[in-house]
């Protein structure tokens, strides 16, 4: 997830509980796999579920939740967490700035996630939850120690002694070498199991990879804005570089903040800041693609949301992290697993999507 104009973001180790999902499809559609394997997070030893849950909206009242956060929404977020676990999705991505006072939020997302984990463990001691969080590269933060200090603060809010994945949320205006050093220190001190970056360009990605490699530490992931209608990672070399170097691409905003779900139309636009991004004109041009997504989904007895998430999974080396605000959304995301679009359908959807001018992404992608 990212704080911006465009998307919610990450990843890590969890327990495996995956149900078999069968698609209702004609002979022309792909054969369904029974069960879903975990995937390795880059060259690290961590294995993660193929879909994770983004927690950007948890506690937020500036971009999401119609500018308000209340007990009802907190309970809905808790239900999203529990339903995800129940359906075998154990990867949760948060960040120190989500819901924080710095971003004018109501409750820090890390605090909520930590609370949800604690409450779940009180009922099930054996449950394993994969926690990923992120360091905010704020201009006044300098040097490797700033990373360790922020990480320890995050651990305190989460109520944990370590996290599975710690990421640099965006490249800093300066001091990035120190931040990478801090990631390496966090691994060596046992505070994290794997490290990654977010919103990193091809060049920055290569530099971070090489710097960590000298210490024998793999760069596990790069979390970027990536969806069927925002394919900048394919066009700017980021996806190819991730594949080349063995770095997992974690896709935030994989359903384009709801625009690809079919929920919104030119007459029914998203509320809040999203309405300024996904305008009536944009949604009108998007409709032919949405119609085809729905048609393909009907062939598998799947929703549009499940189709577009499956499209990303089909790109290989991609772990999408859609944001879940409630149990219904979390259960729907799980339905993206256990089946596969055909190559023809993947290519057809990309071709249709290429006719749509993408929205503006997070500006730091180009730093």
Show which residues are catalytic.
98
> Residue 18, Cβ neighbours under 10 Å: how many?
18
Number of helices and strands in the chain (H, E): 12, 10
The span from the CA of 65 to the CA of 52, in Å, is 21
The span from the CA of 345 to the CA of 25, in Å, is 13
Six-digit token pair at 306? 């499940």
DSSP one-letter string for 291-354: HHHHHHHHHHT--HHHHHHHHHHTTSSEEE--B-SSHHHHHHHHTTSS----HHHHHHHHHHHT
Residue-wise over 46-75: b if at least 16 C-beta within 10 A, else e? bebbbbbbbbbbbbbbebbbeeebeeebbe
Those residues whose C-beta lies under 8 Å from the C-beta of residue 77, and which sit 6 or more positions away, are 55, 57, 58, 59, 112, 116, 325, 326
């Amino acid at each position: 997830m990212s704080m911006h104009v465009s998307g919610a973001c990450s990843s890590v180790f969890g327990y495996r509980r995956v149900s078999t999902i069968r698609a209702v499809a004609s002979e022309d559609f792909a054969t369904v796999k029974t069960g879903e394997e975990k995937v390795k997070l880059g060259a690290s030893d961590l294995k993660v579920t193929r879909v994770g849950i983004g927690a950007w909206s948890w506690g937020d009242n500036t971009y999401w939740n119609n500018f308000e956060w209340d007990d009802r929404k907190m309970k809905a977020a808790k239900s999203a967490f529990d339903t995800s676990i129940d359906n075998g999705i154990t990867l949760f991505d948060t960040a120190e700035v989500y819901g924080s006072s710095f971003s004018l939020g109501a409750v820090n997302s890390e605090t909520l996630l930590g609370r949800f984990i604690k409450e779940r463990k009180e009922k099930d001691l054996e449950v394993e939850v994969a926690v990923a969080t992120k360091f905010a590269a704020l201009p006044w933060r300098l040097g490797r120690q700033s990373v360790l200090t922020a990480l320890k603060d995050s651990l305190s809010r989460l109520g944990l002694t370590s996290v599975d994945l710690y990421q640099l949320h965006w490249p800093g205006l300066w001091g990035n070498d120190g931040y990478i050093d801090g990631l390496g220190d966090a691994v060596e001190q046992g505070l994290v199991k794997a490290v990654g970056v977010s919103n990193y360009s091809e060049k920055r990605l290569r530099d971070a990879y090489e710097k960590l490699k000298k210490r024998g530490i793999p760069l596990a992931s790069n979390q970027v804005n990536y969806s069927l209608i925002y394919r900048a990672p394919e066009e700017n070399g980021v996806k190819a570089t991730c594949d080349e170097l063995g770095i997992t691409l974690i896709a935030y905003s994989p359903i384009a903040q709801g625009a690809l779900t079919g929920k919104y139309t030119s007459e029914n636009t998203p509320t809040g800041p999203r309405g300024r991004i996904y305008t009536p004109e944009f949604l009108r041009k998007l409709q032919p693609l949405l119609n085809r997504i729905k048609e393909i989904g009907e062939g598998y007895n799947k929703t549009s949301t499940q189709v577009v998430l499956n499209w990303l999974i089909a790109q290989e080396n991609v772990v999408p992290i859609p944001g879940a605000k409630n149990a219904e959304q979390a259960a729907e995301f799980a339905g993206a697993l256990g089946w596969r679009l055909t190559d023809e359908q993947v290519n057809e959807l990309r071709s249709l999507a290429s006719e749509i001018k993408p929205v503006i992404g997070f500006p730091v992608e180009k730093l």
